[in-house]
């Protein structure tokens, strides 16, 4: 599948996620996609990407969300190195606040990682609720399936045990350790090796600022009951941020500004575009959320999302007007 940059009828940038047909035919993938949209609708807030519209049972399925113009934490640290102690504290405060909102709406993310944290001009955003679960879910996948991203999974995820709020706390601590050091706290390697380290060994926190070390170490406790709550992260990180949100490194700020400028340049005026027909969901009203009917899609800077990988698409640039159409 692909994610397209687009523009809503009101002129705001949006992301249009269209699922590849071969994945759309997989019942298990369909369930996960439905689950992602349901979770994203429940948690829409200041630190997440708002859902604009979706065709969950369309062929192929699609999802339109707010577009966040900014690099991922993975990109920023990979290109420009670890963040300062103050910037990590600001990041921690924003992510803790976002996760609190997610949990208050009865959802646990289960896949918080540097690639799922976007650095925007107004603060960090949490994206990709593809494996999120409702906290009141009783499905076997909640307790017995191993889901997540190795290197940023909690011990209970590796053990296939019940995953709750404390698992997101562990992932948050791992993400902050990465932001502060540029390294995964449990190193690299195959899933089996990472799983053993996460469950049995202490994390490598060399380079984590002293001001954040006790908090991050506690967040990486093996026992979920031994981890602090998100309130403790928010309180401590906020206390370390003096005079408002600390500035990110100049190079990262430039990355964000560049993404914003590129987005503005890529989204042209609606006149003179041709139409791309987005299939409507079965049983969906013809109005199909007028937002989707007017989405302007720019087929450039596309990212392949099939097979769990993010790869650039080099298919070129074309502006099209997205219009839903019924499927048989």
251: phi then psi, degrees, rounded to nearest 5: -65, -40
> Among residues 26, 59, 111, 136, which one is catalytic?
111
User: Between β-strands 51-55 and 117-120, what pairing exists: parallel, antiparallel or unpaired?
Assistant: unpaired
For residue 86, count other CB atoms closer than 10 A to its CB: 19
Residues 6+ apart with CB under 8 A from 238: 89, 93
111 classed as catalytic: yes
Token pair in block for residue 292: 């989707």
Question: What is the Cβ-side half-sphere exposure of residue 186, based on CA atoms within 13 angstroms?
Answer: 30
Could you tell me which residues are beta bridge partners of residue 277? 323
Is 237 in contact with 93 (CB distance < 8 Å)? yes
Helices (H), the chain: 21-24, 27-43, 73-80, 85-104, 140-144, 155-158, 165-181, 191-200, 213-219, 230-240, 250-266, 290-293
The answer to whether 64 touches 6, Cβ cutoff 8 Å, is yes
Q: Assess contact for 282 and 327: CB atoms under 8 A.
A: yes
Residue 233 in contact with residue 79, Cβ under 8 Å? no
Structure tokens at 27: 């019942």
CA distance 238 to 323: 44
The rounded Cα 9 to chain-centroid distance in angstroms is: 24
List all residues 6 or more positions away from 52 whose beta carbon is below 8 Å from its beta carbon: 8, 14, 64, 65, 66, 289, 291, 292, 295
Catalytic residues: 111
């Amino acid at each position: 599948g692909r994610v397209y940059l687009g523009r809503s009828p009101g002129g705001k940038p949006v992301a249009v996620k269209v699922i590849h047909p071969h994945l759309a035919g997989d019942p298990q993938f369909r369930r996960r996609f439905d689950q992602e949209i349901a979770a994203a609708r429940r948690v829409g807030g200041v630190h997440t990407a708002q859902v604009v519209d979706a065709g969950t049972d369309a062929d192929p399925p699609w999802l339109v969300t707010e577009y966040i113009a900014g690099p991922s934490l993975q990109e920023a640290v990979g290109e420009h190195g670890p963040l300062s102690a103050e910037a990590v504290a600001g990041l921690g405060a924003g992510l803790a606040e976002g996760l609190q909102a997610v949990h208050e709406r009865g959802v646990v993310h289960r896949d918080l990682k540097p690639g799922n944290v976007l650095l925007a001009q107004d603060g960090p955003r949490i994206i990709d609720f593809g494996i999120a679960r409702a906290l009141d879910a009783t499905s076997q996948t909640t307790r017995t399936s191993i889901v997540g991203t190795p290197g940023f999974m909690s011990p209970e995820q590796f053990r296939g045990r019940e995953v709750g709020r404390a698992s997101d706390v562990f992932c948050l601590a791992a993400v902050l350790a990465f932001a502060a050091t540029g390294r995964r706290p449990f190193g690299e390697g195959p899933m089996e090796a990472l799983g053993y380290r996460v469950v049995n060994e202490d994390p490598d926190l060399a380079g984590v600022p002293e001001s954040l070390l006790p908090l991050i170490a506690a967040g990486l406790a093996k026992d979920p009951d031994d981890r602090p709550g998100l309130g403790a992260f928010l309180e401590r990180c906020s206390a370390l941020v003096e005079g408002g949100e600390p500035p990110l490194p100049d190079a990262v700020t430039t990355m964000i500004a560049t993404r914003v400028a590129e987005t503005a340049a890529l989204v042209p005026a609606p006149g003179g575009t041709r139409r791309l027909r987005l299939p409507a969901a079965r049983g969906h009203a013809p109005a199909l959320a007028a937002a989707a009917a007017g989405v302007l899609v720019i087929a450039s800077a596309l990212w392949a999302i099939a097979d769990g990988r993010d790869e650039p698409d080099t298919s070129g640039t074309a502006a099209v007007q997205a219009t839903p159409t019924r499927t048989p």
